[in-house]
Chain A
Amino acid sequence: MGDRSTGRSWFSVMLPAIPVLAVGLSACGSGAGSSGVPSATPSPLCAGVNTPPGHTNGVASVSGGASSLSGAGGTFVAPMMSIWSAAYNTSDHVQVAYQSVGSGAGIAQVQAATVDFGESDAFMTDSDIAKAKGPVVQTPLVQAPVVVAYNLPEITSGLHFDGETVGKIFAGQITTWNDPAIKKLNPNVNVPNLPIAVVHRSDGSGTTFIFSDFLTKESPTWVSALGGKDKSVGKTIAWPVGIGGKGNEGVSAAVGQNSGGIGYLELSYAVAQNLTYADVKNKAGSFIQPCVKTAANATAGITDYPPDLRIDVVDVSTDADAYPITGLTWALVYQKQTDAAKAAALVNFFNYVLTKGQDVAATADYTPLGADLQKLCVGQLRKITLNGTPVAA
């Protein structure tokens, strides 16, 4: 009896304490969402409004299109695809359902023909196409830069990095922030004496592909640490050091939570999460801040596009204002379509993306395609055929 009442009174005392404690703990914890540091001050190259390209060179609209399309592909372009989908539904009343499952999965679904179109940050190679049910038309849709973000609360300007230094950091050979190599590139910045906490992607990713491609081209240390060029580039890397974050949000969280953290992310993500990122040295020798304008410059000046547009644009441009770690992302469509309604809908949708869609890219921190490239991409649409005849006029 005495036992019962003791239990009950204990209970009524402790019970109110639980929600109070829970609220208290939540209030402490919820503040750690982002690094809370303002982004680096915009460089002159990035300041100012991004004028929409205003392309009008699209193909004529094809009638009889289906009212819905099914697509799957990388996460890199997912926010952009969402904006395009919603706008296209409003203007043309076609529901384009896109799911981000990863570039590799996008390619796999195209190979299995379970979706109408795929999307990938790495174009389909010949062996990929061999596993598909027919030839595939690939067209870049948009460009985007990969930034090197870090967590050093006192430093609000963009640190200067070159490819070799970044390569050494991610290979584990530079381990503190006040290393002479970093100091040499940033003589006017007081870099703290913190250990570097490297953060990379744990899941296979097009972002990793773009970043490792850059490191392979610029950092011999990176290549030898990984054991050769075939192992130092790819969607999956055997990272010698570092924390593996799942997805962009995992990398952002790990960088934000550890002082001295450094990681690579796509620009739109870094901007949304309010992270500070570095100015990276390009082929022309200038340190460039990543933004829509400098990423657009990354394809300026390239003239030798292959006819199937399968080109690697990472660290290629010699433009003085180009941000080097910029990549393309491709749409994947079967060339020989068999369903008239689907074929028409596909051509119409990607025509929209390549013309009016480019105008809204900058609002989401994605980079519209350069003018030369965009023209060639529209040309790719004309290659799509229905029972032998091209779908687009």
Chain B
Amino acid sequence: MSPASAGGIAAIERHPLPIALRGERRRLGDSVFGAAVALTGGVVLLVLAAMVVFLVLQGLPAMRHYGFFSSITSQRWAPSEASATLSTPNPYGIVQFIYGTVLTSLIGMVIAVPLAVGAALVITDVAPRRLRRPLSSLVDLLAAVPSVVYGFWGLFALIPAIRPVVDFITSTLGTVPVIGVPFGGPFFGVSYFTAGLVLAIMILPIIAAVCREVFRSTPRNEKEAAVALGATRWEMIRIAVLPRARSGIVGASLIGLGRAVGETIAVTMVIGNAVLHINPSIFDQGATMSSVIANEFTEATEPFHLESLFVVGFWLLIVALVVNMLARVVVRRGVSL
């Protein structure tokens, strides 16, 4: 059954229409329905395209003034040094923001995805039946907590709790000559690492909730067949649950990653907002592309300041595009195996 289902999914990938549908008889209601969903698909595309166009148009004056690639070749963001006439050097360099986005999202995903998948597996297959609904609800409603609340929790609950641990790391591992550089101190509470942790907690419920649904949709007979053949619980999960769920897990992770990359308020409260250059240690202050947009958007009055924030948004879109393309490659490789 399981390979057939995987083959079925692969069939959808290669042949979008099930065989039975080719040359079918079409009734009016069917055509109307088909047209309606096609229309909604079109609306979605339209909205997305409009937003991309909007971003590009808003950022265009800065790109024209400073040069298209100039913002990604500099790591110094200093709006107070901008002038309406001077075009080099570009005071709106964003390399440090790209670094911050990648680093904090990476920390967040590395922590959140395994925990979320594990939690989802426990909720669907391991936990006693009575506990499944309350645990599911706990996970679900944490997706509703506003970012500002996570920001405050990060500032006043998380930082004091991790300070002793981080101080220990910076004073031991951080003092080692070469490999200790990413772990060096001093630790002021706000840092890339803190932001990564806060992001992990924020995206955990989303990934767990989607994975839970994915695991729950495993056909019961497959699970029972595996157990009947003598599999332990873990083997049953590995044989019957996980293979079908690979694409779903990647999808859930991408949704979580999207939230992590686009998160503004919580990150800016705990990352320290150092915009002038990349700082080497994960316990140093930094900034992400989203956090700088949120921080400076409402007060962007310098020449080309607001336009450059839209340029940051544009490059954020590019980063998201690259990540999604990579994820697609991963899924396609997995399915064909």
Residues of A within 8 A of B (CB): 3-4, 7-8, 11-12, 15, 25-26, 28-30, 32-33, 101-105, 107, 195, 197, 202-205, 226-227, 231, 234-240, 243-246, 250, 253-254, 257-258
Interchain CB contact (< 8 A) of B80 among A15, A202, A203, A234: A234
Interchain CB contact (< 8 A) of A11 among B126, B299, B301: B126
Asked if B276 is at the interface of the complex by the 8 Å CB criterion, the answer is yes
Residue among A3, A8, A231, A253 with max Cβ neighbours from chain B (10 Å): A253
- Residue of B whose beta carbon sits closest to that of A239: B276
Whether A29 and B298, one on each chain, are in contact in the complex, defined by CB atoms closer than 8 angstroms, is no
Whether A257 and B299, one on each chain, are in contact in the complex, defined by CB atoms closer than 8 angstroms, is no
Residue among B273, B285, B300 with max Cβ neighbours from chain A (10 Å): B273
CA distance A4 to B126 in the complex (A): 7
CA distance A32 to B159 in the complex (A): 10
Whether B273 and A231, one on each chain, are in contact in the complex, defined by CB atoms closer than 8 angstroms, is no
CB neighbours (8 Å) of A28 from chain B are 160-161
A204/B78 contact (C-beta < 8 A), A29-B160, A32-B156, A33-B156 known: no
A204/B299 contact (C-beta < 8 A), A243-B272, A244-B274, A254-B190 known: yes
CB neighbours (8 Å) of A195 from chain B are 186
Whether A244 and B275, one on each chain, are in contact in the complex, defined by CB atoms closer than 8 angstroms, is yes
Q: Which of B108-135 contact A (CB under 8 A)?
A: 126-128, 131
CB neighbours (8 Å) of B127 from chain A are 11
Asked if B171 is at the interface of the complex by the 8 Å CB criterion, the answer is no
Closest CB in chain A relative to B205 CB, distance in Å? 15
CA distance A30 to B156 in the complex (A): 6
Whether A236 and B126, one on each chain, are in contact in the complex, defined by CB atoms closer than 8 angstroms, is no
CB neighbours (8 Å) of B158 from chain A are 29
Q: Which of B156-172 contact A (CB under 8 A)?
A: 156-161
CA distance A28 to B268 in the complex (A): 24
A104/B299 contact (C-beta < 8 A), A8-B128, A29-B157 known: yes
CA distance A102 to B295 in the complex (A): 11
- Residue-wise interface mask of B (72-84) relative to A, using a CB-CB cutoff of 8 A (1 in contact, 0 not): 0000001111000
Asked if B201 is at the interface of the complex by the 8 Å CB criterion, the answer is no
Closest CB in chain A relative to B112 CB, distance in Å? 18
Whether B160 and A257, one on each chain, are in contact in the complex, defined by CB atoms closer than 8 angstroms, is yes
Whether B295 and A243, one on each chain, are in contact in the complex, defined by CB atoms closer than 8 angstroms, is no
Whether B80 and A257, one on each chain, are in contact in the complex, defined by CB atoms closer than 8 angstroms, is no
A250/B80 contact (C-beta < 8 A), A29-B157, A101-B298, A103-B299 known: no
A231/B80 contact (C-beta < 8 A), A3-B232, A246-B268, A257-B189 known: yes
CA distance A237 to B80 in the complex (A): 6
A202/B157 contact (C-beta < 8 A), A235-B301, A243-B285, A246-B269 known: no
Interchain CB contact (< 8 A) of A197 among B188, B233, B302, B305: B188
Whether B301 and A7, one on each chain, are in contact in the complex, defined by CB atoms closer than 8 angstroms, is no
Asked if B296 is at the interface of the complex by the 8 Å CB criterion, the answer is yes
CB neighbours (8 Å) of A245 from chain B are 190, 273
CA distance A240 to B76 in the complex (A): 12
Asked if B155 is at the interface of the complex by the 8 Å CB criterion, the answer is yes
Closest CB in chain A relative to B303 CB, distance in Å? 10
Closest CB in chain B relative to A18 CB, distance in Å? 10
- Residue of B whose beta carbon sits closest to that of A232: B80
CB neighbours (8 Å) of B155 from chain A are 250, 253, 257
CB neighbours (8 Å) of A102 from chain B are 298-299
- Residue of B whose beta carbon sits closest to that of A15: B131
8 contacts between A and B (CB under 8 A): A12-B128, A28-B160, A105-B299, A197-B188, A202-B273, A203-B295, A246-B269, A254-B189
Closest CB in chain B relative to A201 CB, distance in Å? 9
Closest CB in chain A relative to B96 CB, distance in Å? 13
A246/B295 contact (C-beta < 8 A), A11-B127, A12-B128, A197-B188 known: yes
Whether B273 and A246, one on each chain, are in contact in the complex, defined by CB atoms closer than 8 angstroms, is yes
Interchain CB contact (< 8 A) of B276 among A4, A26, A205, A238: A238
CB neighbours (8 Å) of A237 from chain B are 80
Closest CB in chain A relative to B268 CB, distance in Å? 5
CA distance A253 to B189 in the complex (A): 10
Interchain CB contact (< 8 A) of B159 among A103, A238, A257: A257
A11/B296 contact (C-beta < 8 A), A25-B157, A236-B79, A243-B272 known: no
Closest CB in chain B relative to A258 CB, distance in Å? 5
- Residue-wise interface mask of B (42-71) relative to A, using a CB-CB cutoff of 8 A (1 in contact, 0 not): 000000000000000000000000000000
CB neighbours (8 Å) of A240 from chain B are 276
CA distance A197 to B302 in the complex (A): 28
CA distance A240 to B276 in the complex (A): 8
Q: Lowest 3 A-B CB distances belong to which pairs?
A: A204-B299, A244-B273, A202-B273
- Residue-wise interface mask of B (274-316) relative to A, using a CB-CB cutoff of 8 A (1 in contact, 0 not): 1110000000010100000001101111100100000000000
In addition to A231-B80, A244-B287, 18 A-B residue pairs with Cβ atoms within 8 Å of each other are A3-B233, A26-B157, A29-B157, A102-B298, A104-B299, A104-B300, A107-B301, A195-B186, A197-B188, A202-B287, A203-B295, A231-B81, A237-B80, A238-B78, A245-B190, A254-B188, A254-B189, A257-B160
